[in-house]
Amino acid sequence: MVVDAEGIDYTSKALIDLVRGPMTTVSGFLLQHYVELLHSIVVVNVPSWASAVWSMKPAKDKLDKLQLKAGQVHWMEYKLEKGDALSINISGNSSFGFTIVHAEKEQEEDVYGMKALHPLFTSINGPLKIPIEDSLIAPHSGLYKVWFSNERAWWSSLTIQHSIKN
């Protein structure tokens, strides 16, 4: 596949909206159903600074590994006091779901029914070469749950590398 980047206005909000919206959906669909077409992608007519983006290296921190089979979810729990920070560093070898929620009850597992501390991403297109790094402050004391999902996969297992510290 050849992508021609000539004439693109890299300062335009419309470009960001396009990449975060329709292009993400299309690329996710193509990666799930037409992997053989996307085996090689060549981007031509890119600005000179583009090589810096592609040469970025992932973080060197020691990350724990989590294996999820197709269709599986995994919860991690943290008891935080109001004002505590939760630092995250996450990457995956395939697409996965992720969020951090505040749970009223320990047994609660409906990710859509809990109050989100971090946006709910049902599918982050992977593999991620650059990890997601963030730090969140607990607005209330209580139980916070980190949700990882491989529910959208039919066949493929997922390996998530993560470091979550409070």
Lowest mean pLDDT: which of 31-35, 84-88, 125-129? 31-35
* Residues 119, 99 contacting (CB under 8 angstroms): yes
Lowest mean pLDDT across 88-97, 124-133, 149-158: 124-133
The CA dihedral of 44, 48, 53, 57, to the nearest 10 degrees, is: 110
In this predicted structure, the answer to whether residue 16 has a pLDDT above a threshold of 80 is no
Which token pair is 35? 């992997």
Spell out the residues 6+ positions from residue 125 whose beta carbon is closer than 8 angstroms to its own: 24, 27, 28, 31, 95
Pull the structure tokens for residue 68.
Answer: 């999820």
What are residue 44's DSSP bridge partners?
4
Distance, in Å, from the CA atom of 19 to the CA atom of 13, rounded to the nearest integer, reads 10
Segment 36-62 mean pLDDT: 66
Percent of the chain exceeding pLDDT 70 equals: 79
pTM as predicted: 0.63
Which of 162 and 16 is assigned the larger pLDDT?
Answer: 162
Residue 121: closest CA among 113, 112, 130: 112
Give yes or no for residue 100 having a pLDDT over 60.
yes
Q: Report pLDDT for 103.
A: 92
pLDDT value of position 57 = 56
Please provide the average confidence, as pLDDT, over all residues in the chain. 82
> How far apart (Å, rounded) are the C-alpha atoms in residues 126 and 103?
27
Q: Is 68 exposed, middle or buried (0-12, 13-18, 19+ CB in 10 A)?
A: buried
- Contact partners, residue 96, CB within 8 Å, separation at least 6: 68, 123, 124, 126, 148, 149, 150, 158, 160
Find the mean pLDDT for residues 98-120.
Answer: 89
